[in-house]
Amino acid sequence: MTGTLINIVTVLLGSLIGIRVGSCLPERVRQTVIAGLGLFTMSIGLQMFFKTQNSLIVLGSLLFGSLLGEWWHIEDGLQRLGAWLEQRFIGNIDADAGESRFVRGFLTASTLFCVGPMTILGSIQDGLTGDYSLLAIKAILDGFASLAFASSLGIGVAFSSLVILVYQGGLSLLAAQAQALVNEPMMLEMTAAGGVLLVGIAFSSLLEIKKIRVGNFLPALIIAPLIVAILQKFGIM
């Protein structure tokens, strides 16, 4: 859990600095910074996707994952959680205003900080051996990202630290079991599916090209390694 705690601290510090500095930055500068992060996020997502050994596995995981996500209303649940946090701690949510800046910042940061190979590999490494070097690197990246996000999207970014605690911390606590179940081919396809989700985040929340309910694709991260396990059982992989 050491790496997760470091990650939480950097996100909170980056968010607080971003909020303070954000008021001094022109809107066009904040928009340019977010666009730059969007382009970088898309590049990382494509890099992750190209690690796949079978793109059909990624496609299948995304299709089945999206069906489950829509059925479970994952994106709506994350939005309701963000709205409740804003109402509880900020108290200025307008129910008729659609998705608020707080909710958008919470959703964007939560999804971005919890999707990627460094989250999974770093959490497993931290939980099994106590080596949190990967999560420390991720924490630095997340800290800079949260500074940029918070300068444009506000304090909702800071509350993504709660999701990091539950998701990333939970992975560390379950590391031994996860390590026993997930082999390298499963990890590669899970990483590739996560890369597609990062591209979706870039398109939807950062570059604002097209609205995509990226949260509803999160089950794909579980379905991808399951498909690999099934194919391996039948000797297809």
CB atoms within 10 A of CB 21: 14
At 165, list the tokens: 């605690």
Do 126 and 135 touch, CB atoms closer than 8 A? Answer: yes
| Residue for token pair 């194919």 | 231
Distance CA 41, CA 195 (A): 9
Nearest Cα neighbor of 155 from 95, 101, 200, 221 is 101
b/e burial code for range 135-173 (CB count within 10 A of at least 16 → b): bbebbeebbebbbbbbbbbbbbbbbbbebbeebbbebbe
pLDDT tens digit at each of 237 positions of the chain = 788 899 999 999 988 888 887 667 677 877 787 788 788 878 888 988 998 999 999 999 999 999 999 999 988 887 787 677 666 765 554 544 445 678 888 887 887 787 665 677 678 778 877 778 878 878 888 888 888 888 878 888 888 888 889 888 888 888 767 667 778 898 889 888 888 988 988 888 778 898 888 888 989 988 999 999 999 998 887
Token pair for 75: 């994106």
Evaluate if pTM is beyond 0.85.
no
